[in-house]
Every structure is written in C-alpha cells, then in structure tokens.
Structure 1
Amino acid sequence: MNAQPPLQVRYATHPAQVPGFDTAALRSHYLVDDLFTPDAITAVLTHHDRIVLAGAHPAGGPLTLGTWPELRSEYFLERREAGIVNVGGSGTVTADGTKYELTTGACLYVGRGVREVIFDGPDAAFYVFSAPAHTDFPTTQVNPGEGNRLELGDQQTANRRTIDQYIHADGVRSGQIVLGVTTLHPGSTWNTMPAHTHDRRTECYLYFGLPETGKIVTIASLLSFQGGVTVPAYTASKHAVAGLTRALANEWGPAGVQVNAIAPGYISTDNTTDLRADPVREAAIQDRIPAGRWGRPEDVVGAAVFLASAAADYVNGHVLAVDGGWLAR
C-alpha cells in the first residue's frame, strides 16, 4: 500500500510582504498542518532554500519514498539529503536494503544518492526534512541521548528543556541540514522568549507529543477596564480583547482549553517613551501607582508563566491586571 499525493508548493515571500498578511495568509504561507495522513507520504516544497518537508505514516503497511515531477530527479535523494525523525511509535526505515530500527525521537540521516527509502511500522510516524546536497555523507542513525545533549532554560521562566542535537557540524555530518529534537520539561511551555528568527537560514519546527488540552494567553490592557485619554481606538480594541478572551473561554473550556488575558499597567517600553518624557503626565501616572514606579517587561513574565502552567488549570476567562495596584486606586 503506497500513496503519494501531489507535492504542495510554497513560494518564497519578501519580508516587506509579511506585515500585509492577515492570519489566514500567514497560515497559508508558513503553516503545514496535514503532513501525517495514514498510508500516505505527504510532502511540501518551499522555495525558501528548496526545502522539502514530508510525513510518512505507514499505518497499513510499508511506504516507499518516491519523487515528484517538480524536483526533476530520477529518485528523491538523487541530489538531496534527508534527516528523518520518528515522532510516533517504534518503526523502521530501510535505506538501500539496510534496515534501521527507530524508536520515538530517534533520528536517521540519509545521504545523497540513496535510491530507495522504505518506511514501516503501523504506529510509527516519520518526519522528513530534506535539502539539496552538494556532496555525499554516509547514512547514520542517532538514538535519543546519543547526540550532543544540552540542558537549557529554567523552571522559573517555564522554558526548561532538553535539546538533543543530532545532525550538526560536531555530530552527524551533512551538507546543509541542522536537525535536533527539543523536549520540554513538565511545567515548561515554550522554547525561547522572546521569539527569534534567523536571516542566514530557513528554520522549520514540527511540534509533536503535545497535550490535547491547552492554554491561551491574550494581551489586554488597563484600558480593557477604563476609558483612557485621547485613545478611543486603542480603548475599544482592548475592551474587545477582554470580551473575546471571555467568549473563547466559554467556547473552548469544555475542550480543556483555558483562555485568559494579562492586562499590563504602565510599562516602561519603547511604546511609552513619549508618555514618560512628559513630566506632567509621567508624574501623575507614577503618583497613582501604589508600587511607586512604572512596570518593567519582566514584571509580566510571572503572570504569563502562571496562566500558561498547570497551576492555572481551573482559571478560565480571567483578565489578570499586572499594574502595580493602579486599578486598586
């Protein structure tokens, strides 16, 4: 049994285009949500670095990796290399007759020139990351814990994580691919904050093994509660955020998803530079804050960690003010 749907193609975008994208456009350009289809190999080609992302789910029997007309190749790895990670139950990958047993989280690098790749295992799900290759490297397997293991982050900031670096300059060699698996520790909810991007390469993230329940934290404002001065549009939008938060809490609560909001007070950021430079307004604001100071961005972190953690499993539809006591006056 072997199904290989047509190759999906995503075209490159210029950074100047992105600010004009709405949520639907961002998802259509950058989100792949249908890689793993039972008894099929599904793939997406992005013109960013000519990367191919594929998913193989051999639920009913072995699946053989073919090629697609858009790649102009006799076989898939004729001019490509691939990193494969098993994100399901145990299974096997056979590369030109050599069978490799892959447990959950194990990685197999398959070099340029391998003609036949076969996926097998009814409970397995294989994630394939492929890039053009300019030279040959040997097919190599790395099991969880055998690569370069890093322990990063801190439980206090909810980003404690174990990184298994598999394919990289000091590990399994490749032409272009750098690949690893990050495992979040219990109670941790993200990788790095703030989020970051890289100009020098394309990064693709696959999230797997996620709990079916979840947390959503929106950003409201003091003006979700008050009217403000000379900012009617901002006030209207932040009232809307608070209302949407409560509405989604009602909608998604039965599915195990908690939706809450943080309402920061007056925080010292670039956005408030002009306000803090006005001696009259700055003094009036600070005089009203019981904490006696403007907030700092790090003051919001604890609220975010709490609302995103298991400690907030029974908190839903709440707008949490982080304002130094402003609303208490």
Structure 2
Amino acid sequence: MLKTLYGASPADIDNMNTARLRDEFMVEDLFTPGEIRFAYTHVDRMIVGGAVPTSGALSFGDGAEVGTEAFFDAREMGIANLGGPGAITVDGTRHELDNRDILYIGRGAKTVSLESADARKPARFYMNSVPAGADIAHRLIKRAESKPLVMGDEAKSNKRELRMYIHPEVVPSCLLLMGITDPAPGSIWNTMPPHLHERRMEAYCYFDLGDEDRVFHFMGRPDNTRHLVVANGDVVISPAWSIHMGAGTGPYAFVWGMTGENKVYTDVDPVAIRELR
C-alpha cells in the first residue's frame, strides 16, 4: 500500500495544521508511470488506487495486504480510465477502456491486468475498492452508457454534469457507487450548495487540471470548515460527518466514489450556505 489513513473525528481537525490535515484526508502521488499504487483508509475501509501502465502490463490480485488469499475474496472495485486508451483483463477476459469509461469488477475475481494502448499516451487507471457481501458480474460501462444529470446554475457558477456509472440505475454493485462530474465551462463550484450523508463516505479524485491550477476543496462540519488545496490526480477522503465541495482556479473534473449503509443517492442532508462557518 502507498499509504494508510486512519480517519478522525470532527473534533480532531481543530488540532491539525495544514500538513496534518493533508496527511489524514488526502492521497497524493497516486499516478506514477510504470507503477500501481494503493492507499487504504479505515473510513469504511475503502481502497483508492492509481496505475499508469507504460512499457508493459501491470497486474495485481494478491490479498495479503487486506488479509485474504486474493484481493477480491471480499471486495468489489470500480476502475475509471482518466487517460489514453487502455485495456483491463480480468481472469482472462479483456475489456477495452477509452477515456471516461469505467469497469466494475465484482467479488471473486482472481487476477487483474492493466495496460495502455500507447505507452506515449498511457491510460491512467483510478480505482475504488470497498468490502462486498455479494457476487455481482463484472461489467464495462462506456461513457455513453452512463446516466447524465445536469445540476446547478450558471449564474451561481455551479452548473455541472454528473454522470452515474456504478449505480442502481445503470450497473448494479454490492455497496459501491461511482461516477464522474464535470463543471460546465465558466462554472467553478462542485457539490454546491453542500450536503452531508451520514450513512456514506465519499472519495474525490480530481483530474484534468492544468499544472498551474488547483481546486480548493472544503471539508469539516458545516459550522467548522477547513480547506485542502488539491492538484491534478490528488484524492480527498471525505468521512460521512464532513461536507465536501470545491472550487477550481481553472477547468477540472472529478471521480466520485461512495460506500456505506446504502446506495440511495438522494439519502443526503442539505446544508444551507448561510450555515457555513
């Protein structure tokens, strides 16, 4: 594993400086050419991962670090391709992924191999894995098969398109939800106005940022907020007790992944902007 994050209570952030806040709630350097990297969080035991195959395929499947014989003995996973065309082979079955496609891998898989179609324009595979208690068939979801929702308002700089991929309305899973959100041109805010979902945690992977741009991601209780400055490819772990919203200095997108007690996307508690502190 690249990193282990243990989580924290809402009261803990009062005693955290910037470095400590980043260490507890962010994963950096996940996408390294020629490597697979994972980070394990005790927040609902989600694993996030990044893989950038270059000269050859990258494979995984051993479960030693999660305490099982094979990685997928008690887990499911979603893998989003955020780079050039690539392929993922699961137990001998090959799936071709273009940019913004997502592959769902169900419990019971043995070996996963990831490769790029062109090492000069490599695939960038982003992974979310969570514990699973049911066997669900593997399934490739092409971008065109995802379900789009348009949200927000141009006048408030928060218009955005949210696409559901691993979701009961598109492709089933045990407890994993996964999708991609793109702010509209000229809009900077995501998940605004904010909300809480006490029964689910969430991970954000920000991508398609320019080298000079950053996203200011806001977290914490509504009356006690903090911010994280996020670069391209960085992941934020958002506990169930925290708001999660961001504003970018330039164009960006993010992959959202959730797990918890249910898969009811509307099981949220809205937070009025006037309540933020």
- Residue 147 in structure 1 maps to residue 150 in structure 2: no
Cα RMSD (Å): 2.1
- Distance in 1, matches of 2:18 and 2:70, equals 36
Query: CA offsets, 1:269-289, max 9 Å, x none?
Result: xxxxxxxxxxxxxxxxxxxxx
Alpha carbons 2:146, 2:164 under 8 Å: kept? yes
- Distance in 2, matches of 1:48 and 1:198, equals 14
Q: Which has the higher helix share?
A: 1
- Distance in 1, matches of 2:205 and 2:51, equals 14
Measured after TM superposition, the shift of residue 155 of structure 1 is 1.6
Query: CA offsets, 1:161-194, max 9 Å, x none?
Result: 1111011122211111010011122111121224
2:129 matched to which residue of 1?
A: 130
Residue identity opposite 2:165 in structure 1:
Y
- CA gap 1:155/1:309 in 2 versus in 1, 3 angstroms: farther
2:3 matched to which residue of 1?
A: 8
Alpha carbons 1:65, 1:118 under 8 Å: kept? yes
2:60 matched to which residue of 1?
A: 65
Residue identity opposite 1:114 in structure 2:
A
- Distance in 2, matches of 1:216 and 1:42, equals 23
1:17 matched to which residue of 2?
A: 12
- Taking the TM superposition and a 5 Å limit, the aligned residue runs for 1:158-177 are 158-177=157-176
Alpha carbons 2:61, 2:110 under 8 Å: kept? no
Residue identity opposite 2:160 in structure 1:
R
- CA gap 1:191/1:135 in 2 versus in 1, 3 angstroms: same
- Residue 32 in structure 1 maps to residue 31 in structure 2: no
Alpha carbons 2:63, 2:69 under 8 Å: kept? no
- CA gap 1:47/1:162 in 2 versus in 1, 3 angstroms: same
1:193 matched to which residue of 2?
A: 192
SS in structure 2 of the partner of residue 16 of structure 1: helix
Displacement over 6 Å in runs of 4+: none
- Taking the TM superposition and a 5 Å limit, the aligned residue runs for 1:72-221 are 72-121=67-116, 122=119, 123-214=122-213
Alpha carbons 2:152, 2:192 under 8 Å: kept? no
Alpha carbons 2:56, 2:115 under 8 Å: kept? yes
Unaligned runs of 5+ in 1: 1-5, 218-304, 311-329
Of structures 1 and 2, the one scoring higher in RCO (CA 8 A, sep 6+) is: 2
- Distance in 2, matches of 1:215 and 1:118, equals 32
1:221 matched to which residue of 2?
A: none
What's the TM-score, normalizing by structure 2?
Answer: 0.73
Higher deviation after alignment, 79-88 or 18-27: 18-27
SS in structure 2 of the partner of residue 27 of structure 1: helix
What's the TM-score, normalizing by structure 1?
Answer: 0.62
Residue identity opposite 1:53 in structure 2:
V
Residue identity opposite 1:78 in structure 2:
D
Alpha carbons 1:188, 1:309 under 8 Å: kept? no
SS in structure 1 of the partner of residue 48 of structure 2: strand
- Distance in 2, matches of 1:27 and 1:196, equals 21
- Distance in 1, matches of 2:215 and 2:201, equals 27
- CA gap 1:10/1:309 in 2 versus in 1, 3 angstroms: closer
Aligned residue pair count:
217
Residue identity opposite 1:8 in structure 2:
K
Query: CA offsets, 1:177-230, max 9 Å, x none?
Result: 01001112211112122444322111000011112333789xxxxxxxxxxxxx
Query: CA offsets, 1:274-327, max 9 Å, x none?
Result: xxxxxxxxxxxxxxxxxxxxxxxxxxxxxxx9x9679xxxxxxxxxxxxxxxxx
Alpha carbons 1:9, 1:46 under 8 Å: kept? yes
- Distance in 1, matches of 2:137 and 2:47, equals 20
- CA gap 1:78/1:216 in 2 versus in 1, 3 angstroms: closer
- Distance in 1, matches of 2:50 and 2:249, equals 30
2:273 matched to which residue of 1?
A: none
- CA gap 1:20/1:134 in 2 versus in 1, 3 angstroms: same
SS in structure 2 of the partner of residue 164 of structure 1: strand
Higher Rg of the two aligned structures: 1
1:238 matched to which residue of 2?
A: none
